[in-house]
Amino acid sequence: MKRRALALLCAGILAVGMLAGCGGSSDSKDSSAKTEESKTETTKKSGDSTFTVAMGYMPNSLQPSAQSSDDLVSAIRPIYEPLFAETKDGLEYYLADKLDISEDGLTYTLHINDKATWSDGEPVTVKDIKFTIDYGVLAYGGPTSFTKVNGGDVQINEIDDKTMEFVLPSVYDNYVRTLSQFYPMPAHAFDNDPSKIDDSTYFKTPGMATSGAYVVSEINEDSFVYTARDDYYRGTPSVKKVVMKTIGSGSTKQIEFENGGIDYMRVTSAEDLKKYKGESDKYNMYSISEARLNYLQLNPHGPVMSTLSQDARKAIFLALDKDAIVDFAWGSDELAKPANSLITPDQSIYNKDCKGYNVNLEEAKKLAKSSGLEGKELTYIYNSDRANMEAVATVVQQQLAEIGVKVNIESCDTSTFFPRFFASKDKEQATTWDLGTNGWDSQRGSNCGQAISYFTNRLCDCGYSDEVSGLAQKAMGTADAKEKQELWNTIQDKALEECWEYPLTYTNFVMVSQKNVTGLDGSSVVPEFIDYLSIHVD
């Protein structure tokens, strides 16, 4: 009897523990309603004007050119500035204040802001830009996208301390994008010798010269602390301290946010969106276009796909109902909208009249039968580290089952997904999948670099014909705006006719912040908050 009672007690404890562990958001909602102030010391005092950002991983260095992931780019943004940013509405200038492009599209003249200075008082000059470009060549062991385009060398001329000229061998429309992703480093800190950077601890200790609104005041085991500069050329930031701290994996970020430990968090599920919108007395919500296209790729080298005709590919695309996909995977049109083109609405070349694909199940079934697609088994891969992709895979699987196609889903983490998805055709991995979902982002303004890579099959063999590739190459080499737009309208339609990539969604970067944090929507580029001057913490 005693043993039975003990066993029941232990089973009860285990069951309660499991339920608590699986409780999720409803438990968090109840707990966040209980107390106004956290009992822990992780909450910063709101009067300190400190903006705290979560990082998934503590970078080893704050060197701008070493940053490759969103986390790390976000970590350096408050302290290092780009020359300019491409936004939906054009160029937003930072260290540079002007970019002139000659009529023939070959000469780019860049002017550095006269007031831009490093935090140690030295002016930002073209020497810093040349120094950073030279470091890139050294690090890559060869020419980079700054120094070589279309197989020819770019001539870089220093006109004066603040003016620099880039003369291209041929028109290359994407050079603006190349320059926009450039974060200069201080040449004077290394005696203008880029070979000194890799062996130096300069970017690992506080006191490094910064070009942004903040300086690095502390580097801890699990956080960086940045302090506002009084001499920042664009004005003194309202937020006096920015803290970048590492947060554990899983749902820890949400707990940390609800405890007041971090100031904002991205919202990716409809459930969380509804929850935080319902607590508008505690939180602010923001939504910014992510300038991202999620798409479904058919692999021309797939084990089954390589044997199928264009009609079969068309059958697949006609069977898909993207409204249902968005509904199931994102649950809210605030998080994502169905896409009509392989170009995003934030890009200046976007054609809103591009028809996209519309579901037509009857036609899809007919084509599936006539093309021999019916009864086939396709392998589908997706990146499990990306939100919503698993749900997309599930819906696609169900929708293709309607036309007699069996889809075998394989999830991959980031480190295995990209090598497989972008494997060149001579690699075995290129032949191990038939369908896959991916996305390309930061496509704003005139930036069409990623689209070009796909349409010209340069990124990987996406299946496009020589006609589409040729049109894309021509568009890249066209300086005339009207002609370029006409070409891109044609490319957008023709690419869809060939049925290699299905545009799924355009996503929004939806954020929830603490109530005393405002201005997050003042930044037009996310997630790195291109402009920290717009952020306020009351």
Partner 1 sequence: MWKYCLKKTAQVVIVMILISFFSFAIVYFAPGDISDMYVNPEMTEEQKANVIAQLGLDKSMTEQYFAWAERAVHGDLGVSLSNKSAVWPQFMQRLPATIILMGSSMILSLLLAIPLGLWSGYKKNSWLDNLISSLAYMGMSIPSFWFGMLLIIVFAAVLKVLPSSGMHTVGNVSAFDTFQHMILPCITLSIGHVAVYIRYIRANTIGQLSEEYVLTAEAKGDSQTKILFRHVLKNTLLPIITLMGMNLASLVCGSFIVESVFGWPGIGTFAMSAIGSRDYPVIMAYVMLSGFLLVVGNFIADLLYAFVDPRIKRGGASGGK
Enter the DSSP assignment of 61. -
7-15, 268-276, 284-292, 440-448 -> range binding partner 1 (CB under 8 A): 7-15
Nearer to partner 1, 40 or 230 (CB): 40
Is cis: bond before 123, omega within 30 of 0? no
Smallest gap, in angstroms, from Cβ of residue 265 to partner 1? 13
Sign of CA dihedral 398, 402, 403, 408: positive
The verdict on 379 binding partner 1 (CB under 8 A) reads no
Burial of 456 (0-12, 13-18, 19+ CB in 10 A): middle
* Minimum gap (Å) between residue 173 Cβ and partner 1: 15
Q: Minimal distance in Å, beta carbon 491 to partner 1?
A: 19
Q: Which of 303, 318, 244, 277 is nearest to 76 (CA)?
A: 244
Q: By three-state DSSP, how is residue 136 classified? A: helix
Query: How many whole angstroms separate alpha carbon 104 and alpha carbon 107?
Result: 8
Tokens of 338: 């169905």
Of 216-224, 295-303, 373-381, 438-446, the segment contacting partner 1 by CB under 8 A is 216-224
**Quick one: which segment of 2-10, 158-166, 276-284, 509-517 binds partner 1 (CB under 8 A)?**
2-10
Of the pair 117, 297, the CB lying nearest partner 1 is at 297
> Under rule CB under 8 A, which residues in 332-361 are in contact with partner 1?
none
DSSP alpha helices (H): ranges in 266-410?
Answer: 270-277, 310-319, 322-329, 361-371, 389-401
* Phi-psi region at 55: left, alpha or beta (left = phi > 0; alpha = psi -120 to 50): beta
Closer residue to partner 1 in complex, CB, 121/250: 250
219 binds partner 1, rule: CB under 8 A: no
Q: Should residue 4 be labelled a site residue for partner 1 when binding is judged by CB under 8 A?
A: no
Query: What DSSP state is assigned to residue 216?
Result: E
Reference 55, options 223, 192, 177; nearest CA is 223
Chain positions 231 to 250 lying near partner 1, rule: CB under 8 A, are 243, 245-250
Least spacing, CB of residue 219 vs partner 1, in Å: 11
Q: Does 38 bind partner 1 (CB under 8 A)?
A: yes
Taking CB under 8 A as the binding criterion, the range among 17-25, 103-111, 314-322, 529-537 that sits at the site for partner 1 is 17-25
Instruction: Please enumerate in sequence order all residues whose Cβ is within 8 A of that of 514, keeping only pairs 6 or more positions apart, or say none.
Output: 46, 257, 260, 263, 264, 282, 283, 284
Rounded to whole angstroms, the Cα distance separating 519 from 286 reads 9
Q: Which of 66, 304, 391, 409 binds partner 1 (CB under 8 A)?
A: 66
Query: Between residues 259 and 351, which has the closer beta carbon with respect to partner 1?
Result: 259
Instruction: Quote the distance between the C-alpha of residue 283 and its chain's center.
Output: 25
Rounded least distance, CB 209 to partner 1, Å: 20
Footprint of partner 1 on residues 246-275 (CB under 8 A)? 246-252, 255-256, 258-259, 261
Sheet holding 241-246, edge to edge: 50-55, 241-246, 223-228, 214-219
Which residues 399-438 are close enough to bind partner 1 by CB under 8 A? 413-416, 418-420, 422-423, 427, 429
Report if residue 153 touches partner 1, rule: CB under 8 A. no
Exactly one of 8, 12, 17, 114 binds partner 1 (CB under 8 A); that residue is 17
Number of residues that bind partner 1 (CB under 8 A): 73
Closest CB to partner 1 among residues 16, 159: 16
CA distance 488 to 341: 11
Measure the CA–CA gap between 251 and 262, rounded to whole angstroms: 13
**Toward partner 1, which CB reaches closer, 132 or 508?**
132
Binding residues among 113-152 for partner 1 as defined by CB under 8 A: 139-145, 148
Q: How far apart are CA 261 and CA 252, in angstroms?
A: 11
Asked whether position 278 contacts partner 1 by CB under 8 A, the answer is: no
CB nearer partner 1, residue 1 or residue 352: 1
Reduce the DSSP state of residue 73 to 3 states and report it: helix
Residues 510/271, Cβ–Cβ less than 8 Å = no
Out of 4, 41, 47, 353, the residue judged to bind partner 1 by CB under 8 A: 41
- Applying CB under 8 A, among 153, 161, 222, 231 the residue interacting with partner 1 is 222
Contact string (CB under 8 A) for partner 1, positions 182-211, x = contact: ----------------x-------------
Q: Please say which residue, 102 or 170, places its beta carbon nearer to partner 1.
A: 170
Give residue 532's identity as a one-letter amino acid code: Y
Which 492-531 residues touch partner 1, going by CB under 8 A?
A: none
Select from 304, 324, 391, 459 the one that contacts partner 1 (CB under 8 A).
459
- Selection from 231, 218, 215 nearest residue 76 by Cα: 215
Q: Applying CB under 8 A, which part among 281-289, 451-459, 481-489, 525-533 lies near partner 1?
A: 451-459
